[in-house]
Amino acid sequence: MKLLKLVPDDTNIDFLKWRSWAFGISLLLMVASVGLVAAKGLNFGVDFIGGQMIRATFTQSAAAPVTELRETVAKLGYGDPTIQRFGAENQVSIRMKLPEGADKNPELANAMATKITETLKAGHPDVRIDGVDSVSGKVSEELFSKGILALLAAMAGVSIYIWFRFEWQFGVGAIWSLVHDVTLTFGLFALTGWEFDLNIIAALLTIIGYSLNDTVVVYDRIRENLMKFRKMEMASLLNLSVNETLSRTVMTSVSISLPLIILVLFGPDVIFGFSAAMAFGIVVGTYSSIYQAAPILIWLKVGSHSFVPTDEAGSKAERIIEGFES
Amino acid sequence: MLDFPRWRVWMLNTLIILGVLFAIPSVLPTHIRAQIAQFVPTPTINLGLDLAGGSHILLEADTSQLAETRLEALEDSVRTAMRRADPRIAISDVSRTNGQLSFTVDSPAQVDAAREALLPLTSNATGSRDWNIGVNDGNRMILTPAGTGDETALDQAMDTAKDVIDRRINALGTLEPTIIRQGENRIVVQVPGLDDPEALKALIGKTAKLEFKLVDEQADPDQTAQGKARVGSQVLPYPDNPSGLPYIAVRRLGGISGDKLVKADPTFDSQTNEPAVTIQFDSEGGQKFARMTQQNVNKLFAIVLDGQVISAPQIREPIFGGVSQISGSFTTESANALSISLRSGALPVDLKIVEERSVGPDLGADSIRRGILAAVIGTTAILVLMFLVYGRFGMYANFALVINVAMILGVMAFANATLTLPGIAGFVLTIGAAVDANVLINERIREELKRGRRVVQAIEFGYKEASRAIFDANSTNVIAAVLLFIFGSGPIRGFAVVLMIGIVTSVFTAVTITRMWVSRWVKRTRPHDLTI
């Protein structure tokens, strides 16, 4: 049987030739992302800014009466709602920010949700309430700070691990590419205005996990080659390592992208942003392992002198894996 | 490396079978599962509320209000103690400010006697001190909360509140609520598969503190309208006041509280035929109620619920027997809800709903259906691709992947874990990691073959060299998962749990299990060349 080869044998692409360009473009994109987030801001969901969101379906109507809803809800005196269609034509989400005085009365967010639900039900007998989220200011602040803390802790933790398992330069490279991936994803959300909620934090964490996985594979090969070819010039060595792992990189990225693309296309509407973020992150994460994590090693002056050629670390890993199995 | 002793093969196969067995109940349709459950235990994965539909409600206690309630209770018992002291100790200028209770003992000679009388009130059952007694200017006594008094009180109040909420939800019928205390002053209530969260919220958010107070009939309506009351009176909201003024003045003292009830039932008023609630006091409360009504015939008394007057009827005759009826502008539902709340007791603290997440059953079902569809299509695509690219070794990886999914489900079912939407993300990541492990191994075998190694050696090298990267990649994921579990909140933890389980099972299936299969194939066929 003839097997499929996604990457032809003896592929030898000079990836590192474009490293300065890639780095420049990445920096530019990162600055643009930060700028976008600063200028446009993120479209935070109720998880992070408090308020309420109701999802409703008008079961007997072809389309939801968005204009009328906007007026009705605005009349309740909590401020202007953000009403969007999601999924089918007759499905909407109604979002409200925290009203005035919410800091003194933590129950206001929920009272608002109750009031809007009642109004909807009274005015539209065919309405089906699919979901209600209400979050008070204090809780949303906690969710936000805990989410950010979890992100930072995960990034710092894994980078420290890389530093211990490889060398400090690799740790720096790992955290840099993670910052790169996370920043660009933030930029994507600022650009598109997709809602940024707790699920997106979970998506970011997945991206971190994936991107790092990719980085580790490339780094592992770099370490191996550093010990094998002690005289090779660093750029060629990085190229060799990236090319040697290329078919694996492509195969893994394609495999993981498949379910994600299907999730974006056919998955539940509720998690569209979430799936889209992950699909985006896989692409960016794969790119950053090659064009951010690897070239940084050149600039940080990694060379064969960085490793004592005892293969100590590697054999230790195998021993642990074997211990794990038995 | 390719050597697998028989005991090890047995052990690995047992682990696989166990994992798969535990997964089975979770994927069976509910009615079939119910039939099997009669014969064998069927541990299943709980679906999070975001998938199954239901309500998640986070309640937070108002701690300042609890301190105020404690202070009020202290004032009551101090007044009683001073009155009952022999000789009676006259006090004046009682005030509650800044969490302190202070009062003046009229005769400085009685200060020591007062202190003596206060001692039993200021220490608790375990003998430790709840309140510190201080004396200013010779005869001004000041009681300040001591040490952990407030914390202990909060802790007890939260425990009681949890029980009360439990009783209230149970009164609603066959729901399966999860009620957990969280932190110092919070309670999480989760009720799966609920159609109308509003009814639930109305029930658990109500303090249901019932009081009977005498109406201050000498109060000046103009003053009352401005919220001003005479000394010894207070103004309370009264939305249904027949006089049209939404306030009423009541006497602070001389009322009784309605926490001593043995029964509360919805009913209909025999005269107006409107919904009402009948209550029955226990014997002590009944005597107090009888005394109060006896002493105040023809006067008005206010029925106060959670600081708001529901109605203020006239006492036509003394009420003995402890049975009374509360009428106001009730609907059948609200009368029913009030009787449930009263029956289950008042909440010892005011609880506020600070977070609600309700997902309708339709949306949840839609999420699951489309989620599963996407997962099945996606996984199938991976399986096909793996087969096309790696042939036989791809099939090994595919079987391992299917077992991996089953084992994650099995471990989650065994641990009674909850699968949420972010948990599915964790699933995707671990499936990715499992595929990646096999890709790494197979690519490495390809490479080694290309370098001219013999088949058996190439396979051995492939597993050995790839193990290092697999180990590092999975270690970093473990670190990330543990940190997420520590620092993350609810949904992020759901992600972390799946990730932790998935890392272990995917290394097990993708590395160990495939190696077992590969080694058996190698032993059986002694291949000279290998297409991979």
Q: CA A23, A27, A31 angle in degrees (round to 5)?
A: 170
Please answer yes or no on whether A252 and B435 come within 8 Å at the CB atom.
yes
Q: What is the mean pLDDT of residues B396-422?
A: 89
What pLDDT, on the 0 to 100 scale, is given for residue A326? 42
The identity of residue A326, as a single letter, is: S
What pLDDT, on the 0 to 100 scale, is given for residue A95? 92
> Looking at the complex, does the CB of residue B365 fall below 8 Å from at least one CB of chain A?
no
State how far residue A55 is from chain B, nearest Cα, in angstroms: 9
Give the mutation candidate from B191, B387, B428 for the A interface (greatest A CB count, under 10 A): B428
Q: CA B484, B490, B495 angle in degrees (round to 5)?
A: 50
Query: Which of B193, B387, B507 shows the shortest CA–CA distance to A321?
Result: B507
Question: Residue B296: pLDDT above 90?
Answer: no
Please provide the distance, in angstroms rounded to a whole number, between the alpha carbons at the two ends of chain A.
Answer: 35
Q: What chain A residue is nearest to B196 in terms of C-alpha separation?
A: A129
Q: What is the mean pLDDT of residues B262-266?
A: 85
Q: How many domains does chain B have?
A: 3
Shared domain check, A131 and A92:
yes
What pLDDT, on the 0 to 100 scale, is given for residue A325? 47
Report DSSP state, residue A41.
-
What's the CA gap between B210 and B307, in Å, rounded?
8
Please answer yes or no on whether A206 and B429 come within 8 Å at the CB atom.
yes
Are the C-beta atoms of residues A90 and A154 closer than 8 Å to each other?
Answer: no
Cis before B237 (ω within 30): no
Q: What chain B residue is nearest to A317 in terms of C-alpha separation?
A: B468
Please answer yes or no on whether B435 and A256 come within 8 Å at the CB atom.
yes
Are the C-beta atoms of residues B448 and B461 closer than 8 Å to each other?
Answer: yes
Shared domain check, B329 and B281:
yes
What's the CA gap between B372 and A259, in Å, rounded?
11
> Looking at the complex, does the CB of residue B530 fall below 8 Å from at least one CB of chain A?
no
Are the C-beta atoms of residues B446 and B389 closer than 8 Å to each other?
Answer: no
Residues of B in contact with A220 (CB under 8 A): 468-469, 472
Residues 6+ apart with CB under 8 A from B157: B61, B66, B348, B349
Are the C-beta atoms of residues A298 and A235 closer than 8 Å to each other?
Answer: yes
Residues of A in contact with B391 (CB under 8 A): 1, 3
What's the CA gap between B1 and B512, in Å, rounded?
11
When mean pLDDT is compared across A132-136, A184-188, B44-48, B184-188, the lowest value belongs to: B44-48
Handedness of CA A19, B469, B513, B430 (dihedral sign): negative
Q: Is residue A222 part of a domain?
A: yes
Please answer yes or no on whether B472 and A317 come within 8 Å at the CB atom.
yes
Handedness of CA B256, B259, B262, B266 (dihedral sign): positive
Are the C-beta atoms of residues B351 and B207 closer than 8 Å to each other?
Answer: yes
3-state secondary structure of B133: strand
> Looking at the complex, does the CB of residue B217 fall below 8 Å from at least one CB of chain A?
no
Token representation of residue B162: 């949890």
Are the C-beta atoms of residues B128 and B147 closer than 8 Å to each other?
Answer: yes
> Looking at the complex, does the CB of residue B384 fall below 8 Å from at least one CB of chain A?
no
Shared domain check, A183 and A298:
yes
| Residue that finishes a domain, picked among B96, B111, B144 | B144
What pLDDT, on the 0 to 100 scale, is given for residue B20? 87
Q: What chain B residue is nearest to A326 in terms of C-alpha separation?
A: B8
> Looking at the complex, does the CB of residue B468 fall below 8 Å from at least one CB of chain A?
yes
Residues 6+ apart with CB under 8 A from B503: B430, B433, B474, B477, B478, B481
Report pLDDT digits (tens) over A205-250: 888 888 888 899 999 999 999 988 888 888 999 999 999 999 999 9
> Looking at the complex, does the CB of residue B480 fall below 8 Å from at least one CB of chain A?
yes
Report DSSP state, residue B126.
T
Please answer yes or no on whether A6 and B428 come within 8 Å at the CB atom.
no
Are the C-beta atoms of residues A53 and A197 closer than 8 Å to each other?
Answer: no
What's the CA gap between B187 and A158, in Å, rounded?
34
Residues of B in contact with A325 (CB under 8 A): 508, 511-512
Shared domain check, A179 and A78:
no
Shared domain check, A233 and A308:
yes
Does the interface predicted TM-score (ipTM) exceed 0.90? no
Q: Is residue B113 part of a domain?
A: yes
State how far residue B462 is from chain A, nearest Cα, in angstroms: 12
Half-sphere exposure of residue A72: CA atoms within 13 angstroms, side-chain side: 17
Q: Is residue A8 part of a domain?
A: no
Please answer yes or no on whether B476 and A158 come within 8 Å at the CB atom.
yes
Shared domain check, A179 and A146:
yes
- What's the whole-number average pLDDT of chain B? 84
Q: Among partner residues A132, A255, A267, which is closest to B197 by beta-carbon distance?
A: A132
Shared domain check, A201 and A167:
yes
Q: What is the CATH number of the domain that holds A209?
A: 1.20.1640.10
Residues 6+ apart with CB under 8 A from B270: none
Packing angle of the helix pair B332-343, B149-171 (nearest 10 deg): 130
To which H or E segment does residue B217 belong?
Answer: none
What's the CA gap between B262 and B324, in Å, rounded?
12
At which residue do the structure tokens 């994109």 appear? A29
In terms of pLDDT, which residue wins out, A292 or A2?
A292
| Residue that finishes a domain, picked among B144, B160, B179 | B144
3-state secondary structure of B345: coil
What pLDDT, on the 0 to 100 scale, is given for residue B149? 67
Q: Are strands B301-305 and B308-311 parallel, antiparallel or unpaired?
A: antiparallel
- What's the whole-number average pLDDT of chain A? 87
Shared domain check, A58 and A20:
no
Give the mutation candidate from B184, B443, B461, B485 for the A interface (greatest A CB count, under 10 A): B443
State how far residue B469 is from chain A, nearest Cα, in angstroms: 5
Report pLDDT digits (tens) over A38-54: 999 999 999 899 999 99
At which residue do the structure tokens 């642990």 appear? A320
Write out the residue range of the structural domain in which residue A123 sits. Answer: 51-135
**Which range has highest mean pLDDT (A54-63, B230-239, B417-426)?**
A54-63
Question: Residue A27: pLDDT above 90?
Answer: yes
What's the CA gap between B419 and B47, in Å, rounded?
5
Half-sphere exposure of residue A4: CA atoms within 13 angstroms, side-chain side: 10
Please answer yes or no on whether A206 and B366 come within 8 Å at the CB atom.
no
Q: Is residue B470 part of a domain?
A: yes
Shared domain check, B293 and B231:
yes
Please answer yes or no on whether B422 and A198 come within 8 Å at the CB atom.
yes
> Looking at the complex, does the CB of residue B434 fall below 8 Å from at least one CB of chain A?
no
Q: Among partner residues A114, A219, A254, which is closest to B201 by beta-carbon distance?
A: A114
| Residue that finishes a domain, picked among A135, A158, A178 | A135
- A163-194 core/surface letters (b: 16 or more CB in 10 A; e: else): bebbbebbbbbbbbbbebbbbbbbbbbbeeeb
B 109-168: CB under 8 A from A: none
To which H or E segment does residue B142 belong?
Answer: strand B140-145
What's the CA gap between A70 and B391, in Å, rounded?
58
Q: How many domains does chain A have?
A: 2
Q: Is residue A7 part of a domain?
A: no
Residues of A in contact with B353 (CB under 8 A): 107, 110, 134
Please provide the distance, in angstroms rounded to a whole number, between the alpha carbons at the two ends of chain B.
Answer: 20
Residues of B in contact with A149 (CB under 8 A): 487
Token representation of residue B471: 């180990």
Are the C-beta atoms of residues B20 and B410 closer than 8 Å to each other?
Answer: yes
Q: Is residue B532 part of a domain?
A: no
Question: Residue B485: pLDDT above 60?
Answer: yes
Are the C-beta atoms of residues B514 and B438 closer than 8 Å to each other?
Answer: yes
Q: What is the mean pLDDT of residues B50-65?
A: 85
What pLDDT, on the 0 to 100 scale, is given for residue A321? 54
Shared domain check, B368 and B325:
no
What's the CA gap between A12 and B438, in Å, rounded?
23
CB B173: neighbour CB atoms within 10 A? 6
Q: Is residue A32 part of a domain?
A: yes
To which H or E segment does residue B302 belong?
Answer: strand B301-305
B 54-93: CB under 8 A from A: 58, 60
Q: Among partner residues A150, A213, A324, which is closest to B487 by beta-carbon distance?
A: A150
Q: What is the mean pLDDT of residues B374-401?
A: 90
Give the mutation candidate from B476, B497, B516, B530 for the A interface (greatest A CB count, under 10 A): B476
pTM strictly above 0.90: no
Write out the residue range of the structural domain in which residue B115 sits. Answer: 63-144
Please answer yes or no on whether A209 and B499 come within 8 Å at the CB atom.
yes
Query: Which of A318, A213, A263 shows the shortest CA–CA distance to B372?
Result: A263
Q: What is the CATH number of the domain that holds B71?
A: 3.90.1070
Report pLDDT digits (tens) over B299-357: 888 888 888 888 888 888 888 888 888 887 788 888 888 888 888 888 888 888 999 99
CB B87: neighbour CB atoms within 10 A? 8
pLDDT-based confidence at A194, cuts 50/70/90?
very high
Shared domain check, B304 and B233:
yes
Q: What is the CATH number of the domain that holds A68?
A: 3.30.70.3400
What pLDDT, on the 0 to 100 scale, is given for residue A225? 92
Cα–Cα distance list, B416 to A221, B23, B368, B507 (Å): 40, 11, 19, 22
Residues of A in contact with B446 (CB under 8 A): 247
Shared domain check, A178 and A296:
yes
> Looking at the complex, does the CB of residue B465 fall below 8 Å from at least one CB of chain A?
yes
Q: Could you tell me if residue B472 is left (phi over 0), alpha (psi between -120 and 50 degrees) or otherwise beta?
A: alpha
Shared domain check, B309 and B285:
yes
Handedness of CA A268, B45, B30, A57 (dihedral sign): negative
What's the CA gap between B396 and A268, in Å, rounded?
31
What's the CA gap between A135 and B354, in Å, rounded?
6
What's the CA gap between A294 and B414, in Å, rounded?
42
Q: What is the mean pLDDT of residues B165-189?
A: 85
Q: What chain B residue is nearest to A6 in terms of C-alpha separation?
A: B389
> Looking at the complex, does the CB of residue B9 fall below 8 Å from at least one CB of chain A?
no
Shared domain check, B239 and B167:
yes
